Amino acid sequence: MPDIFAFLTEHGIPFEKFDHPAVFTCEEAERLCPHMPGTSTKNLLLRDRKGTRNFLVVVGYDTAADLKGLKDLLEVDKLSFASPERLASLLGVEPGAVTLLGIVNDTEGAVEVVLDEAIANAEALQCHPLVNTATLVIPHEGIVRFLEATHHTPRILRVPSR
């Protein structure tokens, strides 16, 4: 598993690091994390009914994604949350630490990245560095460079919300 800080540095991706107590939900992050620039995100690793397609869906932290509406946009039968084992095997993270940066561990291209339009257009994103005890703020250009370096082309959608 690559060192995420070394990977970012090697690819010239700037970041600002903020340490904080472990957070497992967006609500805890809001309460326990220092004020940080950039857009706070919610990251969902989802799978289709058969488990043959995996989606990392990144939305704003206050968005409650409508999985029924999203399944239609993604043209799959059903969407459900990935198991902790699937999180570990595909992204190298544990529940509570799901992050866009986890695709650094998806060397097989098994995960399709889906960015909500607002996230894709954000000036900077807040991302866990594969653990939930810190947050990195990465500018838009850095996110683009990261996706290119990991060979992931995101689908940009208006993710439906409940």
pTM above 0.75, yes or no: yes
Q: So what's the architecture of 4-157 in CATH?
A: Alpha-Beta Complex (3.90)
pLDDT in the model for residue 144: 97
Q: What digits encode the pLDDT tens for the residues 124-151? A: 999 999 998 999 999 999 999 999 999 9
Question: Of the given ranges (13-17, 29-33, 77-81, 146-150), which has the lowest mean pLDDT?
Answer: 29-33
Mean model confidence pLDDT for the chain: 93
Nearest to 21 by CA among 136, 102, 131, 130: 131
Which residue, among 158, 155, 126, 124, has the nearest Cα to 142 in the 3D structure? 124
Specify the DSSP class assigned to residue 46.
Answer: E
Let me know: does 15 contact 137? Beta carbons within 8 Å: yes
CA pair distance 119, 107, nearest whole angstrom: 23
pLDDT at 21 over 90: no
- 128 contacts: CB under 8 Å, gap ≥ 6: 93, 97, 98, 99, 101, 134, 135, 136
